Structure 1
């Protein structure tokens, strides 16, 4: 009888257990990170879900910030998912111990972690260098400090989740109702051949500015295609996802929900990954709403955009140079920056031009403080 009651209690506890997942938001400015979190929370509000979250998104400039979002099923008013969201003020070696400490305090966090790397269409020429910096930061400053057994287990879990998404993407694309759904489909060339042991999504913000780049700076579709192909080829190696976000984007939560759904195990989310796969539609045509789910992409799909793109060369160079000895000094990054720059017109961003075409360079911190000295003195006098 005691065993029966114990079994019933354990069963009830499992039903009430909250699915908790962790997001790390790295890269971008404070404003960009706040915009991403706000968009994530806003996009979760729908006919199916309602959200309770931090009263106000806190993103500071001095280390680690935290926010949360509790996602409820609207019909049953049941909490189905809690997102713990951490942001880092800078992808810098000095701040790496903050993230390492999180992982060491909770050894299971790595297994259920999604790292979101932010990019910005205000500065398309920086996308690949920033991506390399973030990936090397994760590999060399975070994961190398962890226990080998923890890393090995996380790598296996991450690879299994990717394979599951890959299987679903294949069967949904080619044989939606076939018996292939139970078969493990082989990976393609350049696919998940450099796993980090963590799920990664790259979100490129301000996709509305693609139109500005075209109208004001004369950028063409060829350049936007090249940037997309370059990003996708690299992200394919790490099993990562890609999404472009504009002010009109409303699919962010569905996209994030899909990426983490293979690790959700409650009764309500058992078939969630298949259900959400029908809502997350890959898009490579609408240049302001590109969406590449993890497990869907391949070299053949990348080359559909433009067959002359050297996916093999980019993939091999990324492995031998960026992930090898050269790091951020790799020639493959320089090639990307030279090609993007050669399309003509300065990208908006760090170095903007005034109406007369004079380049305006940012002041150093000392120059800025000197220029504000009189105002600071007056404030102190008051």
Structure 2
């Protein structure tokens, strides 16, 4: 009994330190595990295509702006940097709950690419895998500063996406197929967003032109700077027909990919954040935000996914060829030979030429495409008079290249030096050449005669009386002529000259001098 008692633990024995450590570990371990799993944030990805480094930053600010309060969440002292200057850029955003702004709903990773060159597709490919594809959204940025380029930009980006999807592995393609089924059924129940119990499981069938060209990744097209619409109307003379045509064209094309569409401006991002979050499945536990379509306000358009149809597009304006545009778009987005991926997923040769704006022989031969029809209607005012045939080798897109300022100034200095030497030689020739005095006087008289014809007779004031110099000279000449005709009296050697005759000659010389001086001798 003594041995058994000695080996057993009495009920009233105090536990030692080892027992306390084991008990503490059993208590805290499941608690920490539960907290760790609760703090594990859902990861969402956003692939932003197009725009510039500036417009991409404006888009990031619009995504982080709450549409209800129109303000961005606090930075909390650790605002993430944005690296979008070269090739593929990256940044991230923590999606905070609507009211508290304390709870983090998800971590949003944003990948930014501005150039649709197929050479950059290998940079995107590692981020598209079976784990990330169900939580990825593709955004294409368009700018209202250049709406005539939209369809060409959309075509280039869709081609890049299609060639990228074709280069993925089989596991990723299976996930894409599952995504297509999920995206097509999302929000298509007859009950609508309220979740009507009677019609909740009744799905709306696909209409004509819907999901004809699915990508497997949800797509959203954002048309930035919608405030420029008024500028186009005021400065370019655009009317409602042009704006309706652009909207109908975009909706017809995006309907084939199941894409959403939204117009934004820096001062009013609208429902952009709600559209992005709802597409990625980011929902607040405190307040549910509803998407409401808008196709009537031309600067606040919002077309949610799985809402549009051909019938709704036709209502906007009659005469639009929905079937023709939809059919031609399927041909436009087929990647040409230089963009089709090879075995390693790289684009074939010639991709750089296409990225620089040079068309391939295949594109030059085809006519009446969806892109050309759009550009024939919405013309580019900057290239109304095309000079690209004269400068077809320019890769920067400029029609006329200006001369370097220093080279221009050097040429002007040489021209001025030549003119200066010519002036010096002419001055030396005039100085060495002496003209006879009578010729100069004759020329002066001719010039004075021309001046008299333009300015009239020379007049001056003498003792308060306005005297006409020409008339006075003429009277003196007549008087001298009359005296010359009179018979001369016999003169003696001691006779003095006639003082009247001398006075007349002086007066004639004086008035002749006034006339020869021209307008400068006029006295008022």
Flag whether TM exceeds 0.5 (same fold): yes
Answer whether contact 2:118 2:160 (CA < 8 A) is retained: yes
CA 1:78/1:55 → structure 2, altered by over 3 Å: closer, same or farther? closer
Secondary structure of 2:207's counterpart equals coil
- Say if 1:44 and 1:71, in contact at 8 Å, map to a contact too: no
Cα distance in 1 between the residues matched to 2:377 and 2:326: 17
| 2:277 is aligned with 1:257 | yes
In the alignment, structure 2 segments of 5+ residues that lack a partner are 1-27, 337-361, 386-393, 408-524
Match of 2:126 in 1: 101
* The one of 151, 159, 178 aligned to 2:173: 151
Residue 309 of structure 1 deviates from its aligned partner by: 1.0
Contact 1:68–1:82 (8 Å) recurs in 2:
yes
- Match runs of 1:293-304 below 5 Å: 293-304=304-315
Q: Does 1:335 align with 2:373?
A: yes
Q: List aligned pairs for 1:206-217, cutoff 5 A.
A: 206-217=225-236
CA distance in 2, matches of 1:282, 1:14: 37
Residue of structure 1 aligned with 2:116, choices 91, 103, 120: 91
Residues 1:26 and 1:177: Cα distance change in structure 2 (over 3 Å): same
Match of residue 445 from structure 2: none
Matched ranges for 1:31-180 at <5 A: 31-43=54-66, 46=69, 50=73, 52=75, 55=79, 58-73=82-97, 74-75=99-100, 77-103=102-128, 107-140=130-163, 142-167=164-189, 171-172=191-192, 177=196, 179-180=198-199
Shift of 1:371: 5.7
For 2:328, the equivalent position in structure 1 comes to 317
The equivalent of 1:291 in structure 2 is 302
Q: Which runs of 5+ in 1 are unaligned?
A: 354-360, 374-382
Q: Using the TM superposition, give the Cα deviation of residue 165 of structure 1 relative to its aligned residue in structure 2, in angstroms.
A: 2.6
Alpha-carbon spacing, 1:155–1:48, altered in 2? closer, same or farther (3 Å)? farther
Question: In structure 2, do the counterparts of structure 1 residues 352 and 255 end up closer, same or farther at CA, with 3 Å as the change threshold?
Answer: farther
Change (3 A) 1:189 1:51: farther
The answer (yes or no) to whether the contact 1:37–1:57 under 8 Å persists in 2 is no
Q: 1:235 to 1:111 in 2, by over 3 A?
A: same
Greater share of strand residues, 1 or 2?
A: 1
Change (3 A) 1:363 1:117: closer
Q: Which has the higher contact order (CA 8 A, sep 6+)?
A: 1
Deviations 1:306-327 (A, max 9, x none): 1321111111111234337667
Inter-partner Cα distance in structure 1 for 2:107 and 2:68: 14
Q: CA RMSD in A?
A: 3.6
Deviations 1:89-118 (A, max 9, x none): 312112111101223xx5412221111001
Instruction: Give the aligned partner of residue 47 of structure 2.
Output: 24
The answer as to 2:220 corresponding to 1:196 is no
Query: What is the CA distance between 1:363 and its match in structure 2?
Result: 7.8
Q: Give the paired residue count.
A: 345
**Scaled by the length of structure 1, what TM-score is found?**
0.78
* Per-residue deviation, 1:187: 1.3
Q: TM-score, normalised by structure 2?
A: 0.58
Q: Is the 8 A contact 1:25 1:88 kept in 2?
A: yes
Contact 2:65–2:71 (Cα < 8 Å) also in 1: no
Q: Offset of 1:19 from its aligned partner?
A: 1.6
